[in-house]
Amino acid sequence: GAVVSQHPSWVICKSGTSVKIECRSLDFQATTMFWYRQFPKQSLMLMATSNEGSKATYEQGVEKDKFLINHASLTLSTLTVTSAHPEDSSFYICSARPMGRDSYEQYFGPGTRLTVT
Amino acid sequence: EDKVVQSPLSLVVHEGDTVTLNCSYEVTNFRSLLWYKQEKKAPTFLFMLTSSGIEKKSGRLSSILDKKELFSILNITATQTGDSAVYLCAGQTTSGTYKYIFGTGTRLKVLA
């Protein structure tokens, strides 16, 4: 149980275009999902916290107009990288926290590797 | 500012060796300390520690938390080449939405 999927797993886009990444909790409902970015040989950096039905909370230094987050249902959150640039190339990982659980544990998706050319 | 620091940054050992990975944290409204193993893709969960002094064990891996000194260790005994990975620790805060603050990671390579 507690499986999180991401789509796509790998995407290449041209500079200036936008790309959308989906994060789904497959067998549980999640009121909260988290988006992380990981550059090569670096740790996971939290970008934003996504709450179902409300606006996302962005970490300091993350541009909310560039990284649009939508959490329209209890099983789906999307991250759209707008006007992508090569420096946005990274590994994007989402996680989801099951609704109603006491452990407050997060379950991670497999990640999406974005390459901007 | 919340921060989590891991040491060493990287480590090379031979199969059969025992390793100890360190994690120190400064997290406001601390709730738990988590350890993850990351190979090629997303992290896989190892341990969640909330109480001081109680060792958690899973096979050859064990971990303990010291909430007074604000650190945790992850031990791996009788290492195998399959243990080669990046090991991440994260501090969880009760602030906001119980988010995780990840450390820099320790890159472990186990040689045959």
pLDDT tens digits along A46-71: 999 998 888 899 999 999 999 999 98
pLDDT band at A98 (very low <50, low <70, confident <90, very high): confident
Are A108 and B100 within 8 A, CB to CB?
Answer: no
Closest A-chain CA to B45: A107
Are B97 and A32 within 8 A, CB to CB?
Answer: yes
Closest A-chain CA to B90: A44
Residues A12-28 pLDDT 10s: 999 999 999 999 999 99
Give the three-state DSSP class for B13. strand
Are B48 and A32 within 8 A, CB to CB?
Answer: no
CB atoms within 10 A of CB A21: 23
A-B contacts (CB, under 8 Å): 52
Q: Does A15 touch chain B if contact means CB atoms closer than 8 Å?
A: no
Distances (CA, A) of A87 to A17, A67, A114, A116: 13, 13, 10, 8
The mean pLDDT value for B5-21 works out to 97
